[in-house]
Amino acid sequence: MYQQDFIKRLIQQFTQAVLQILGLTQSGRLTEAAQLLEQTYGDLFGLSSTVVFYTPVEELIQLVSRGDDDDPQRIFILAELLRSESRISQAKGQDFDAHQRRLKSLALHLESARRAPKLDPPAALDAILELQRDVQEDGMPAQAQADLFFFFEDAGYYRHALDAIRSYLRNTERPQDVRPYLDAFCRRMLDLPPKQLASGGLSRAEVEAALTEATKS
């Protein structure tokens, strides 16, 4: 009971803080937004913005995890705080910092969704897709592209998986290294029952067209 009450309070405090931070950011009160975000990092996790920025994702996950069923929620909250902070950085014209925070937020969102796929799938997917779009504008690292692709396929978001690997294929300087993954993905999709394929947003005709694309030299 105590643990349930604790995580409930954590979520309530996080939700209120994020709404306030968003309002301050949108109204141009960026110093106040940054101060509230710094306070929220400290109140919820005992961390500072600087520590969150410079600490690798794997270590951040360890810092906020407690080894219980609520770990995915904690990781999700940290990911959302980073996403809020990226908006502040963007509004300040700190494009590099904003980009790095989005990348880290995306990685944390993927980890949270992997650990608890039923936590809140629509909210998690919306956040991931928004971060994917924003990160791609400034350049998506190869590892992040791969992480997105494998997450989408494992989660059954086949349409998004196909879009992710096609985007990677279009933007990479070594398409010959990516085409085998697209080819293998399409063949896995063609092995699925039509109903399952459709539930992931794809048709057999679309997969066959993508397979033709994958075999181009």
Please write the tens of the pLDDT for every residue from 29-51: 999 999 999 999 999 999 999 99
pLDDT tens profile 128-165: 999 999 998 888 898 899 999 999 999 999 999 999 99
Q: Is the pLDDT of residue 2 over 50?
A: no
Q: Is the pTM of this model over 0.75?
A: yes
The pLDDT mean for the chain works out to 90
Of 140, 199, 193, 188, which Cα lies nearest the Cα of 164? 140
CB-CB contact of 77 with 55 (8 Å): no
- Alpha carbon distance 106, 103 (integer Å): 5
Looking at the chain, the number of H-run helices and the number of E-run strands are: 12, 0
What is the domain partition of the chain in residue ranges?
1-139, 142-217
- CA 120 to chain CA centroid, Å, is 13
C-alpha count within 13 angstroms, C-beta hemisphere, residue 158: 21
Burial classification of residue 90, based on how many CB atoms lie within 10 Å of its CB (0-12 exposed, 13-18 middle, 19 or more buried): middle
